[in-house]
Structure 1
């Protein structure tokens, strides 16, 4: 019986514990060895374990997916409205309503198909081929044929085909950013580590889907397919349901309540008209149908789509690509942004910031790979040629280096290890370029960096023909080689305590450390060997390197804080580095950084508390990121999550708004996200939040415009029924008003620019209803004003002996003109609009009014329209009365705003809050 790697017997480790086992023990459990598996054994195992691939998820068929798009209360209401308008013979209205239903369903169908592509992107990361040893022979096979126990060979440029326990390693470095978020390639060896070591610290493992950037290795397969770390992420992603955005939840709730209200209102109106006032049932039925059709907000889905689409266009101009329309508005309601560190908050360009020499500490100016910046001591700019130790340290960093610094059309980049690139940039700032240095000090031999030895050494000859050996590496290792140090006034015995103290102080600032040393002598032989680098070196400097924060990210984080949005940093990097970067960004100042290992020990209740209190999370795995997002959501927060790796995909999908990086992000992250940042810049998120808030503002303004216009029509008819008056509006005229105002006026609010204080407000509460108590008051007030103007004008004209057709024509025009004026009022919920900016700040409002005027003139004065709607011509005086009715609404709405502003009701109503610092 073959022992299976994942079997649950006494001697078999858990799948995640392979990093704790010595190579020999892993071989014994896997029943394999240096010759690999025999072919027949591999065939038996693949029958047991299955192929090394990720199974496609179960999916609904296209037809069912399309039909499910119609399962929406608002669409049900729109379909009902289409049926009613068809019954009344208003085929244009019917066509518009049905077109809106179909368009919304198609958009949802397309977006759902895109979201499912995230799993396909993860499966595409699996390597198609693998080099193995089977039966002692080297072979290249389809990676799907790999089984636990196979001996796999890795070399530079390979994608790791399965999870491996490394057995032999030579200078192996693996880019694991997609899984761990680590900003630099991980150095690998065959050593064991503790059971609770984070994924990024498991030096003896190589994981499926990661990329070998340097060196060679061989390792035994311990997990394939769904059992790999990549497979676990795919399983997590498949099990996560996307969360509906706040707007969709609000609109769904609003649609349900409005549908019930319309039905109840219609039934009550019919009963009052027929049973109490004795109107003919047929006449009342037609009126109720017309009022119900007018009350249905058929313009809401259209205005939502247009407003969101305009937001998408504006965001695209700011390098934010929206993949799902509702994400535009969801950004505006975000209360917490969980951001990755590397490349989003930081530049992803390693930079030397500090150089410690004997007796002096140098600060290095400039950020990124552009060789621009000064050197300073105690904030005073200095010349390097006055400090021999510092100058020689710069030379050592440039010469003991395998990276290349390149410029292409003004853009600087590094080929090779980013840490080595940072040393080249520092040299260029001092005027010591790599090309000039190698020409004057040619390299004769080198010892490449190996993780076992933790240093690199190079042998050079200077212009005088003398030999120099330069060393760079981990400080503890280089300290062991040195017995002297170079100070400002020459060589002195090594002060180990000083250097260790400075190393601790520099590391506490989150900087990665390198030590530089030299020896002025030639190797013992004609080649540079390890015996030549054991002792006798002079310590030159400690170099502190960091991936610095983006300047624009610092400003954007501040803007988010002013907007009441918490910013949390979740990274795979080390806690010290994360805390230091966080402090520079004003994230988590004075608070501890919590690691993934600590998160794993917390239950859900404890994690909810910690997630709200702590702002920096380090060494976080995919499970930790997902749990953090869920904990914040369980606390009632609206969460935006940024990420670039496969490890971020589950959290991106779960978040209210998933934000992927466009430049360095994996396809899996992009497909799981709602938004992609084309410039990988956190500042773009802050700009997108601003646009999202503007979108929601405009949707609220549209609702505040739409409901009173429908309410005004309804109150006119209800008042006529209650007081046994002649109906001021016929069913056809009600539908005309609704069609004209919905198709021309309301759409203009989608183009409304963001208000100036929009990023100084707190995020709206996630559970806030689309219609607050204040909104209900505003709807009732404006509805009453419209009814007063239209019904009052209708009764006044009848009292003067004018025919009922003329009175009704004036009532229809009074409602429409009132809506034109109220459209201008609706440009701002509280701010006054009786000024130049308020009247002309949105040219689309003026265009909409200009388009509506000829429609009303045609309704009033053309014979075909008069025949259909029963309208008549109006005199100039009668038109003046109509305009007066409209001005009543405008002045009343502005007076209400003025009173609220003067009595400071806005703050108490939660409409205007102080900035959240």
Structure 2
């Protein structure tokens, strides 16, 4: 696509131009372009297609999957096991590396499908006028200046400036986030109008749900709104997750530490203790084998996978594995409004009659609720104006309310459906109305007239006319109002004041009116409804918040998570819904137009201070996410439309709607909500925090185990002792017992206070000062128990093989006891819940015991590991060494709790 094309058709100019100006600029007319001119412009502007972005080839994509610190750790383990000649272990680890790379390769391919999903939204065909003749052609052949004819059901093939419309409504939710189809016209609007207010435009990829229109193509391919979003999405690099960043840092530090300690040990052993270099090399290999956390990648994957399964049971489908834990680090959730925070079921909440304001109870399409005045339930039959207003709303209506399997559904316009539900609550059903008050004729709603009218006969045979529509239009048609004591002259000031007050509460407004009498002919004409009506009521309608979303937002606030509403809807509506959800209470809302005028520094400040953003475009949503991330926040972003895809991809966790979401949004996301419910996000955050807790617990379990083994080897080298653990025995402990035991911590249930904690700082290191202390303390305890037992046995004349067997078992038994300690980082485990609350811990220990018995007493194990049988007394000594670790770890927790340090360390 040429730069000239992009500059020539860049919005917002077209919606601000009149129809005549558009024709003049594009040098076109009612006969359309000639074929010769269309061919010339196709050369100039290119085809009406979205250009696919440049992508890495499959081989490079596969190679890049190995550029991952977790895989480096596993490859390090591969080298160590190969040096030791344990080829089975080498093969298993290599297989794990390859499988991880393949999974990453597949996931990257799926992520690129988001761009394909956007390109698939382009219409394949279009009806155009060329050379004065109407014809159908491939939409890819459209050029600026073409005249396109639209009818109900069409997908719009390019960005169009509308020239003529007839009752045109376009579903633009995918681009603007509007919950209802937009009524279109032909008038120009101001140049800075947000996308949702450009009523004279029709955009590529959206749908005509009703009516007909003719429009002039003003942008094709990459110059369309859809094309701009496609380019934004292609330019965004997916963010690394907090966990992967922490693991990357942790892995680098650990690798440097292992290399440094190993090199220092080798130098000291050869130069200071005069050990043979070959002997020292094998000792250093044993040291490295004891320090490398071979089980970390596997345990991390298992823990995340278990989180995926738990979330799936709660309607949260995870598409990228690391997103599970990232949810637990979220500090800000940016949520769409319609259907996520709200029910996506329009509901009548208020009838404003002359002298009375009635509140309507109940939410959604279920016809359950009462009518009240100031909290006092009233009988509708005692208020003639309310009763007639409800009747008018039900009769002047083309929607249908149905109950299927105990679920109420609306067929047709959601606003009309809300009036039917209100009628049911008052005891007036549509079926009864059709029977007792049959419709004789009607004038359907048209955007240029902004009302609907119907003609009915009542049970006595008298004729009635009912109208409903925009309040200002209905007011012009009325001369009277129905008071509690009968018909009175219209008080225009009262109705305008009430309309302003009701709209300020975020309610969409309709007015309903009636008059007794028949049309002048057998058909209802516009002349019959121009004047003489009696105003019955203003009706306030809103898409109410989900009850579970209200509690979920409250839970997020308790957890220290900010919730922000970013919607394409109008500001007052967003503010009112936000107030009911406790989002942005007492604060102003900010519109997309205001966001566009801010520089990055101002936007960072506003993004943190303001919680409700209205009339937001794709660029606005993307900038808001970036501003929050620049402030150090971990951001989850929800969305359902193509307009949300760039922000979803940029966010730390992109959350797409499963029910009403577009494929582009789903493919750009990390998680899909199967029920489109905000409460599911809060549940997923809880699971994410539990996953991170369990990973921390595993690391706190694993590092002391490896640290204890390393200290044993270092002590033996420095003090010229016989090696208490051979390299093969170290590998046995790490690969067979440590991973087996540590896996149980992946199944730990969430702790009770997990959603009462503040989010962890995004830049917090994986190992805090407290964690380092805990690792050193337990490492020293394990070394003390195993090395002390080893030296004791040698001192009393026990053979080297038996002493080593006891040292190995002392480390493993200490791990078994410390596994129970590790269930809670600070809380005691010396109670029933602590000892038996996780059955997988019991199963892991039960599985480890026969492995150690086989290691100790099986003949073939003796041949492989130089182990020997132990007596009951020797097993008793081994158990005592393990109990030393358990008792000391619980004592440390007790001291921390008693000294008041627990509160400060609970988030470490």
| TM-score, with structure 2 as normaliser | 0.99
Distance 1:194 1:441 in 2: 45
Match status 1:222 vs 2:218: yes
**Pairing of 1:659-674 with structure 2 (within 5 A):** 659-674=655-670
Partners of 1:253 and 1:814 in 2: how far apart? 32
Instruction: Check the 8 A contact 2:74/2:297 in 1, yes or no.
Output: no
C-alpha separation in 2, matches of 1:51 and 1:402: 42
Q: Are 1:261 and 2:261 matched, yes or no?
A: no
Does residue 497 of structure 1 match 2:487?
Answer: no
Q: Is the 8 A contact 1:4 1:29 kept in 2?
A: no
Aligned partner (choices 274, 280, 287) of residue 276 of structure 2: 280
The 10-residue stretch of structure 1 (312-321 or 414-423) with the greater mean CA deviation from structure 2: 414-423
1:21 aligns with 2:9: no
1:467 to 454, 459, 463: 463
Corresponding residue for 2:35? 39
Q: CA deviation at 1:13?
A: 7.0
Tell me, yes or no, if the aligned pair for 1:513 and 1:543 is still in contact at 8 Å: yes
Deviation (angstroms), 1:858: 1.2
Displacement of 1:564 in angstroms is 0.4
TM-superposed CA distance for 1:265, in Å, is 0.9
Kept in 2, the 8 Å contact 1:509–1:580? The answer is yes
Q: Is the 8 A contact 1:5 1:148 kept in 2?
A: no
Partner of 1:107: 103
Looking at structure 2, the residues matched to 58 and 802 of structure 1 have their Cα atoms a distance apart, in angstroms, of 69
The residue number in structure 1 matching 2:843 is: 847
Is 1:773 the counterpart of 2:773? The answer is no
Deviation at 1:877, TM superposition (A): 0.6
Q: Is the 8 A contact 2:453 2:468 kept in 1?
A: yes
Instruction: For 2:722 and 2:616, locate their aligned partners in 1 and report how far apart those are by CA, in whole Å.
Output: 72
Provide closer, same or farther for how the CA distance between residues 805 and 513 of structure 1 changes in structure 2, counting only shifts above 3 A: same
The one of 311, 324, 328 aligned to 1:315: 311
Q: What is the CA deviation profile of residues 711-758 of structure 1, one whole-angstrom value per residue up to 9, with x for unaligned ones?
A: 001111211222222221122221221122233111111111111110
CA distance in 2, matches of 1:908, 1:348: 43
Matches within 5 A, 1:380-395: 380-395=376-391
Contact 1:100–1:301 under 8 Å retained in 2? no
Distance 2:292 2:166 in 1: 71
Task: State the shift of 1:610 in Å.
Answer: 0.1
Alignment partner of 1:536 out of 532, 535, 544: 532
Aligned match for 1:648, one of 644, 647, 662: 644
Match of 1:612 among 597, 605, 608: 608
Deviations 1:179-231 (A, max 9, x none): 00011111100000000100000010000111111111100000001100010
Given that residues 6 and 15 in structure 1 are in contact (C-alpha distance below 8 angstroms), is that contact kept between their aligned partners in structure 2? no
In structure 1, the partner of 2:55 is: 59
Instruction: State the SS of the aligned residue for 2:661.
Output: coil
Q: Which residue does 1:302 correspond to in 2?
A: 298
**Alpha-carbon distance in structure 1 between the residues aligned to 2:307 and 2:461:** 67
- 1:345 aligned partner: 341
In the alignment, the residues of structure 1 paired with residue 150 and residue 725 of structure 2 have an alpha-carbon distance, to the nearest angstrom, of 81
- Match for residue 76 of structure 1 among 72, 79, 86: 72
Deviations, residues 412-452 of structure 1 (Å, cap 9, x unaligned): 11121111111111111112111221121111121111111
1:623 is aligned to 619
Quote how far apart the aligned CAs of 1:58 are.
Answer: 1.3
In the other structure, the counterpart of 2:161 is 165
Is 1:176–1:185's contact at 8 Å kept on the other side of the alignment? yes
Give the superposition deviation at 1:909: 3.8
Tell me how far apart the structure 2 counterparts of residues 903 and 92 of structure 1 sit (CA, whole Å).
49
Deviates more, 1:587-596 or 1:44-53: 44-53
Alpha-carbon distance in 2 for matches of 1:77, 1:578? 49
Q: Distance in 1 between matches of 2:460 and 2:131?
A: 57
2:829 alignment partner in structure 1: 833
Shift of 1:243: 0.3
User: TM-score, normalised to structure 1's length?
Assistant: 0.98
Aligned to 1:362: 358
User: What's the CA shift string for 1:127-183, capped at 9, x where partnerless?
Assistant: 111111111211111111111111111111111111000000111111111000011
1:244-301 per-residue CA deviation (whole Å, 9 max, x = no partner) reads 1100111111111111111111111111222112222222111111221221112111
Match of 1:915 in 2: none
* Match of residue 191 from structure 2: 195
The reply on whether 1:186 has 2:177 as its aligned counterpart is: no
Structure 2 gap ranges (5+): none
Shift of 1:652: 0.1
Provide the C-alpha distance between the structure 1 equivalents of 2:103 and 2:285, rounded to a whole number of angstroms. Answer: 30
Residue matched to 1:379: 375
Is 2:415 the counterpart of 1:424?
A: no
Distance 2:831 2:62 in 1: 48
Q: Residue 695 of structure 1 corresponds to which residue in structure 2?
A: 691
Counterpart for residue 137 of structure 2: 141
Query: 1:910 Cα deviation (Å)?
Result: 5.8
Confirm or deny that 1:93 pairs with 2:89. Answer: yes
The correspondence for 1:747, drawn from 725, 739, 743, is: 743
Cα separation, 1, equivalents of 2:869 and 2:275? 29
CA contact (8 A) 2:794 2:800 kept: yes
Structure-2 separation of matches of 1:691 and 1:444? 58
Q: CA deviation at 1:46?
A: 1.2
Give the whole-Å Cα distance in 2 for the aligned partners of 1:229 and 1:14: 9
Aligned CA RMSD, in angstroms, stands at 1.3
Pair 1:413-2:409 in alignment: yes
Bigger mean CA deviation after superposition, 674-683 or 95-104: 95-104
The 10-residue stretch of structure 1 (517-526 or 567-576) with the greater mean CA deviation from structure 2 = 517-526
- Alignment partner for residue 782 of structure 2, among 776, 781, 786? 786
Structure 2 residue aligned with 1:397: 393
Give the Cα–Cα distance (whole angstroms) in 1 for the partners of residues 604 and 107 of structure 2.
31
Q: State how far apart, in whole Å, the 2-side matches of 1:524 and 1:867 are.
A: 109
Aligned to 2:557: 561
Q: How far off its partner does 1:76 sit?
A: 2.1
Partner Cα separation in structure 2 for residue 732 and residue 174 of structure 1: 71
Matched, 1:586 2:582: yes
Partner Cα separation in structure 1 for residue 788 and residue 5 of structure 2: 83
Partner SS state of residue 526, structure 1 = coil
Which residue, 475, 481, 484 being the options, matches 1:485?
A: 481
Confirm or deny: 8 A CA contact 1:74 1:256 kept in the other structure. no
Which whole-Å CA distance do the structure 2 matches of 1:105 and 1:839 have between them?
Answer: 38
- The SS at the match of 1:760 is coil
Pair 1:784–1:462, CA change in 2 (3 A) = same
- The 8 Å contact of residues 86 and 94 in structure 1, kept in 2 or not, is answered as yes
Q: For 1:902 and 1:402, how far apart are their aligned partners in 2?
A: 70
Contact 2:9 2:219 (8 Å CA) reproduced = no
Of the structure 1 ranges 130-139 and 512-521, higher mean CA displacement relative to structure 2 is found in 130-139
Identify the residue that residue 150 of structure 2 maps to in structure 1.
Answer: 154
1-structure distance, mates of 2:312, 2:735: 32
Residue in 1 aligned with 2:730? 734
Task: Measure the CA separation in 2 of the matches of 1:739 and 1:79.
Answer: 14
Measure, in 2, the Cα distance between the counterparts of 1:237 and 1:457. Answer: 46
Superposition deviation, residue 647 in structure 1: 0.3
CA gap 1:310/1:482 in 2 versus in 1, 3 angstroms: same
1:654-690 CA distance string (max 9 Å, x none):
0000000000000000000000000000000000000
Structure 2 CA distance for aligned equivalents of residues 158 and 262 of structure 1: 65
Aligned partners of 1:255, 1:70: CA distance in 2, in Å?
A: 15
Residue 860 in structure 1 maps to residue 856 in structure 2: yes
8 Å CA contact 1:473, 1:514 repeated in 2 = yes
Bigger shift: residues 549-558 or 142-151: 142-151
- Where in structure 2 are the equivalents of 1:671-686 lying within 5 Å? 671-686=667-682
CA distance in 2, matches of 1:271, 1:20: 78
User: Larger deviation: 380-389 or 606-615?
Assistant: 380-389
Query: Is this contact kept in 2: 1:15–1:223, CA < 8 A?
Result: no
Could you tell me how far apart the structure 2 residues matched to 1:908 and 1:466 are?
A: 78
1:759 is paired with a residue whose SS is: coil
